[in-house]
Amino acid sequence: MTSPTWHSEAPPIVRRPGPLGLGLAAVRGLLMILALLIGLAALFAMRLTERGMARPRSNRVTQITCRVILWLMGLRVRRVGAPLSEGGAVIANHSSWLDILVLNAGQRITFVSKAEVAGWPGIGTLARATGTLFIARDRQAAAQHVAALQERIEAGQQLLFFPEGTSTDGRRVLPFKSTLFAAFLTSEMRETIQLQPTTLHYAAPEGADVRFYGWWGDMDLGPHLLQILSTWRQGDVTVTYGATITPEAAATRKTLAKAAETAVRSAHSG
């Protein structure tokens, strides 16, 4: 979903890399594009043979592709706990565009995004290809949104939400917006759905700004991507899969959102 872009502090200065850094970025970038194109070709081929909405094989292709891209990038991923093994919702904090790769590499998830993303050049195409569920900011369509969420979850999909509504510098967890949590409190879903708070915590490369992987405010994607690809020794990210939450015990969407936020924040600061 969406919220105003986070502008709490000025981002670090993104410096242009030297010749060796540019060469490293070029090699990594070309290999990543190749991996992405091969992955998309395999994904579309798999989709032709799949029926229904679960899509286990094509989602597996997405997972493998993201793992390969992270490996080429050099970003180390440490995982704590176990991700959901069946349909449900993943509730995560949001620090960077890297979150999409990191979370997809760990489990077969389906992103829930604002409808505008579908029309973005490049990114919108990739989002549609990977089965992203687009939600319009329209209260009159709330019932349709709930039905779409329920349909995906009943088909075995694991839906990913970023309830902060915006990305940050990676050093904090913003208050969760509760709007979409109302979908989990319907009579059809509150007793059966499982929500899993999932926390991402990035550690910058040695000597770099602690906010190295964060992407927020008016930062441009190109320079940020170039900075990461031109850095030889990367940092790492820890993904913590928390204990699942059942909405049945929550009185309102706000109490449910607060419970998920507390779990994510606890793992981020722990």
Q: Lowest mean pLDDT of 110-114, 195-199, 254-258, name the range.
A: 110-114
Residue 264: per-residue pLDDT: 97
Say what percent of the chain tops pLDDT 70.
88
Residue 91: per-residue pLDDT: 95
Confidence of residue 2 (pLDDT cuts 50, 70, 90): very low
Of residues 115 and 103, more confidence is placed in: 103
Distance CA(31)–CA(72), nearest Å, equals 7
Above 80 in pLDDT, residue 12? no
Residue 9: per-residue pLDDT: 65
Give the residue-averaged pLDDT of 31-35: 95
Distance CA(103)–CA(83), nearest Å, equals 10
Is 178 buried (19+), middle (13-18) or exposed (0-12) by CB count in 10 A?
Answer: middle
Q: Lowest mean pLDDT of 43-52, 86-95, 254-263, name the range.
A: 43-52
Instruction: Give the other-Cβ count within 10 Å of 60's Cβ.
Output: 14
For residue range 42-74, list pLDDT tens digits in order: 888 887 777 665 566 677 888 999 999 999 999
Confidence of residue 75 (pLDDT cuts 50, 70, 90): very high
For residue range 142-159, list pLDDT tens digits in order: 677 777 777 888 777 888
Are 163 and 196 spatial neighbours (Cβ–Cβ below 8 Å)? no
Give the residue-averaged pLDDT of 216-235: 90
Q: Is the pTM of this model over 0.85?
A: yes
Residue 152: per-residue pLDDT: 80
Give the residue-averaged pLDDT of 215-220: 82
Of residues 184 and 148, more confidence is placed in: 184
Q: Count CA within 13 A, CB hemisphere, residue 66.
A: 22
For residue range 260-269, list pLDDT tens digits in order: 999 999 999 7
Confidence of residue 120 (pLDDT cuts 50, 70, 90): low
Residue 3: per-residue pLDDT: 43
Distance CA(257)–CA(143), nearest Å, equals 19
